[in-house]
Each structure stands twice: as structure tokens, then as C-alpha cells.
Amino acid sequence: MLSSTSTSFRTTTRYPISLVRGEGQHCWDAEGKRYLDLFPGWGCNILGHCPPRITQAIQDQAAKLVHMPNTWFMEPQGDFAEMLCTRSFGKAFFCNSGAEANEGALKLARLHGMKEGRYKVITFEKGFHGRTLATTAATAQPKFHEGVGPLVAGFKYAPTGDPSSRR
């Protein structure tokens, strides 16, 4: 059964297929038809559908705690932060979404750049950065800007792969 389009905002193109399960690189619709899925799910599905080790880890964690806010310490999060920080620049910021991660990165850029009057950010045409007001402004696609202005200032747009040609 397809989800009603009258009860959901139309934010993306919806295909007339109701997917019900996935395994590896394949997924199946409600009628049992199998599809080869070559879409990485915006980075969330790059390991395929339901990889056994990840599925087991999710099941194990769900049996302990499904969600805790960042106001509490959690051993798995601490272990993951330590692993990230010892292999990178030294700090971890856990978020609920890509838009929140992008908002955090924009705030950090402004906090550190504003002292020298540097607050502008270059983003690329055809990119998508999220649905919050700042990430909408960062998205260099006019169709996402329609009706939500005034936009957050400080973004310059460049053709994909060419930051020196920012406009």
C-alpha cells in the first residue's frame, strides 16, 4: 500500500513503488518484485540493506537502550568518540541529522572566522545541505529558496568542482 500523498509534504519525487524489505544490494516491493538498488541512501545505506553484523549490533543496542540524549554519558558513544578523535583532529560532535551536522559546522566556521571578518561559506551548485533555514541557504538551488526568504546571509555559490569561480 502506497503512503497517502495528501497527508505528507511533497519534498522529493516519490516513485509508485512500495518497498517492504531489503537484503544486500537488492530490495523488494509489496508485490514481491526484486530491484537492484544502486542508490547509497544519501550515505546512510552504503553497506547495503540489512548487513548481518550491523543488524545484529542494532538489535543488541535496542535491547539495552534505544535512545539517550547527549546529556547522559553512554559507553558506546564514548568509545566511538575516542576512536574518531585519535584518528582525526581531536573533538567529536554527535548530531541527529546531516542538517544538524552542517549547522554545527557553519557555526564553528563563523566562531573561528568572524574574528578576522571571515564568515562566508562557498557551496556548490547541485549540492543539497539540509532543510533547516541555514542549510537551505547553503543549498545553491533556487527551487529550495522559493517562499522561505529572507535567507541566512553569507553563502557564495560556485559551479560544482570549481570553488574559485564563486559568484
Determine the Cα–Cα distance for residues 114 and 117; give it in Å rounded to an integer.
5
Q: What's the rounded Cα separation, in Å, for the pair 30 and 3?
A: 12
User: Against a cut of 0.85, is the pTM above it?
Assistant: no
Q: What is the structure's pLDDT at 72? A: 87
Contact present, 69 and 96 (Cβ < 8 Å): no
The tens digit of pLDDT for each residue in 21-53 reads: 999 999 999 999 999 998 877 667 788 899 999
Q: What angle do CA 67, 57, 69 make, to 5 degrees?
A: 15
Rounded to 10 degrees, the C-alpha dihedral 149/150/151/152 comes to -150
Residue 95 has what pLDDT?
85
d(CA 37, CA 22): 9
Task: Dump pLDDT digits (tens) for 129-161.
Answer: 888 999 999 999 999 999 999 999 999 999 987
pLDDT of residue 24: 92
State the pLDDT at residue 121.
92
What value does the mean pLDDT of the chain take?
A: 87
* Between 6 and 107, the higher pLDDT residue: 107
Q: How far apart are CA 145 and CA 80, in angstroms?
A: 36
What span, in angstroms and rounded, lies between the C-alpha atoms of 35 and 26? 5
CB 77 within 8 A of CB 84: no
* 102-112 residue pLDDT tens: 999 999 999 98
HSE (side-chain half, CA atoms, 13 Å) at 151: 19
